[in-house]
Amino acid sequence: MSSISRPHIYLLIVTLFLLIFVFVFSFELLIPKGKEYRILSVDMKKEIRKFRQYKDYSDTKLGIVQELQQKNRVIIEAFNYNFNPEKFQKQYKEYFSKLQISPKTELKNEKEFKVYEVNATSQINSPKSFYNFLDAVNKGDWIISVNFPIKFKRKEDGISSSFTMKVYKIDKKLALHGIKNNLLNN
Amino acid sequence: MSSSFIQPRKKTVLTQEFKLLISFFSMSIFMLVSTYIFLVYKNHSFVQTKAEMVQKRLNLDIEISNSKKKIKYLKDEVSLSNEIYKHNALLKESITNLFDLIPSRITLSEALLLENGLKLYGITPNKDIYDFMLQAPLRSIFSKTYTSFYPADNGWVRFVSTNYIDPSDEEIKKVVVDE
């Protein structure tokens, strides 16, 4: 007769079975998942660090954009303004006794800027009025460059003058195209 | 007739030891399985979060290139406007200098300012005054100066002065100044 009783044999078998289950479960499932967790967690930390670097860089660039926009608000608005001959005449009539503006003609674009040429014929009382006009044009609503040829002719009732002006305006289509191209390249 | 005074115990597989063993293993297995479920959930969440992060990083990348482009445009705008303002200020200075150059005894009837030249029409009491008071300073500024005279009705002399700057002379002057 065996000295181990039947319940003890059952107990032993169940213990062995459960032990094997625990070992198999641990080594086949739990430990590989744990390893995967460790790798993913390191990866995640790397990704978070990378993302923060990108975010900081992006914030810096956005800051520069905002600073430039705030600092040069007048210039940016002037580049967006449509040239209006009537408004121009109204704005600068105090410097001339007569002022006539020809319709604008579009010239070749300079980089992302549209360029229009406008001819002006005017009458001034003294050259000082013209100097004042040149000062005022730098503070006006548009970005205007006064160009050669400039002609002054003495008349009985003052000095007649004629000159050409180049009006600059940002070409939004070109600017947008530039941004799109940039995105495609990335 | 019974051989014992006590009621016989009912024999069962679920002995005290067996119950203890089962409860011990149940707890262990429960802990293992819950750890496993936690790890599966965490790994899944890591994978999802990482994918989101990568997408966000790509969006940031696009934002960065947009910002760079904007910075370039803004800088271009500022630099062009400054160039134009400077050009207008220089133009004003040139015209002021031109009118300052004309002596009071000479009267101008017309002045044509060109990109690289100047044409003056006027009247002078005589040729000598023109030569000393206007021709000399014009010669010091322009590389080529041509003047033609013709008599006016009042006995004075009308003149047409054409002056040009030779671009090659300007280059030489620039090199000398740079050196």
Q: What is the pTM of this model?
A: 0.74
Whether the predicted pLDDT of A1 surpasses 60 = no
Measured in angstroms, the CA of B74 and the nearest CA of chain A are apart by: 7
Across the range B58-62, mean pLDDT stands at 94
Most confident of A58-62, B114-118, B125-129: A58-62
Contacts of B112 in chain A (CB under 8 A): 149-152
Contacts of B40 in chain A (CB under 8 A): 33
Q: What mean pLDDT, rounded, does chain A reach? A: 86
Across the range A20-32, mean pLDDT stands at 94
Domain range summary for chain A, segments of one domain joined by +: 1-71, 82-174
Whether the predicted pLDDT of A28 surpasses 70 = yes
DSSP state of A94: G
Measured in angstroms, the CA of A108 and the nearest CA of chain B are apart by: 16
Among B18, B39, B88, the residue with its CB nearest the CB of A134 is: B88
Q: Sorting pLDDT into bands at 50, 70 and 90, what band is A54? A: very high
Residue A64 to residue B61, Cβ atoms within 8 A: no
Among B66, B81, B88, the residue with its CB nearest the CB of A179 is: B66
Whether the predicted pLDDT of B170 surpasses 70 = no
Q: Sorting pLDDT into bands at 50, 70 and 90, what band is A47? A: very high
The two beta strands, B107-114 and A98-101, are: unpaired
Task: Evaluate whether A79 touches A170 at the Cβ level (below 8 Å).
Answer: yes
Q: Which of A102-111, A124-133, B44-53, B113-122 has the lowest mean pLDDT?
A: A102-111
Q: What is the ipTM of this complex?
A: 0.78
Among B43, B96, B113, the residue with its CB nearest the CB of A36 is: B43
> pLDDT tens digit string along B92-108?
998 888 888 888 888 88
> pLDDT tens digit string along A61-79?
999 999 999 999 999 999 8
Amino acid at A166: K
- Which residue does chain B place closest to A34, by CA atoms? B39
Whether the predicted pLDDT of B174 surpasses 80 = no
Three-class SS string for B53-98? HHHHHHHHHHHHHHHHHHHHHHHHHHHHHHHHHHHHHHHHHHHHHH
Chosen from B21, B35, B81, B86 to mutate, greatest number of chain A CBs within 10 A? B81
Most confident of A99-103, B120-124, B152-156: B120-124
Among B35, B60, B111, the residue with its CB nearest the CB of A30 is: B35
- Which residue does chain A place closest to B36, by CA atoms? A30
Residue A150 to residue B88, Cβ atoms within 8 A: no
Q: Sorting pLDDT into bands at 50, 70 and 90, what band is A178? A: low
Chosen from A33, A48, A141, A181 to mutate, greatest number of chain B CBs within 10 A? A33
Nearest-angstrom CA–CA distance, B122 and A101:
28
Among B21, B35, B69, the residue with its CB nearest the CB of A182 is: B69
Whether the predicted pLDDT of B176 surpasses 50 = no
Q: How many CB pairs lie under 8 A apart between chains A and B?
A: 185
Q: What is the DSSP string of chain B?
A: --S-SSPPPPP-S--HHHHHHHHHHHHHHHHHHHHHHHHHHHHHHHHHHHHHHHHHHHHHHHHHHHHHHHHHHHHHHHHHHHHHHHHHHHHHHHHHHHHHHS-TTSEEEEEEEETTEEEEEEEES-HHHHIIIIIHHHHHH-SEEEEEEEE-TTS-EEEEEEEE--HHHHHHHHHHHH-
Contacts of A80 in chain B (CB under 8 A): none
Whether the predicted pLDDT of B65 surpasses 50 = yes
Whether the predicted pLDDT of A180 surpasses 80 = no
Report pLDDT for A186. Answer: 38
> pLDDT tens digit string along A106-139?
888 877 788 888 888 888 888 888 888 999 998 8
CATH superfamily of A82-174: Ribosomal protein S6/Translation elongation factor EF1B (3.30.70.60)
Q: What mean pLDDT, rounded, does chain B reach? A: 86
